[in-house]
Amino acid sequence: MTESVSAWARSTAERYLRPLGRRWSHVAAVGALADRIAPAFGADGDTLVAAAYLHDIGYAPDLAATGFHPLDGGRFVRAQGYELLARLVAHHSGARREAKLRGINGYCEEFPFEDGPLDYALTFCDLTTGPDGAPVSLQYRVREITERYGPDTVVAQAIAAGLPEFERACRLTEERVAAALGQRMAGSSAFR
């Protein structure tokens, strides 16, 4: 029996990110949340879980070639033979905006952005999970990122510019999961 892509992603992420402590806590919780909502994505659920575990793989010192973790992570995942996962990693949480602010030319040509349900769900999982792995609201997470990096940084500017997209991604993901579960929910806490 061959290993699922999500099992490979989890073990790969753990190997590279566990030494980073807090980063691994965040990634493990993002992966666990993706696993809980994966049934709402049918056959694509395993891909969502894999992307959740790999979304920050570019922070690993051995993989950080450019210093922009979505790009480094996307290139690593692509080199492993996972094209769709590479695009999801490269575009998680509006990374294309930050790439533009950093002056990275050809980002969307290298990693085309699909703007689909898996992109939304990955953003939802990432931006409703705090840096230590605790569940948080989108608004809290945006504030936390801005304070951690500083309001004048490209990270904070990209997050601020992406807020309408993030709100939409969270809303669409919550609606999809609620419909799949056949129940009403009150915000992201229903997934925790």
pTM of the model: 0.92
CATH at 112:
1.10.3210
pLDDT in tens, 4-50: 999 999 999 999 999 999 999 999 999 999 999 999 999 999 999 99
pLDDT in tens, 58-90: 999 999 999 999 999 999 999 999 999 999 999
Cα distance between residue 177 and residue 183, in whole Å: 9
> Count of domains in the chain?
1
Which residue range(s) make up the domain with 101? 5-191
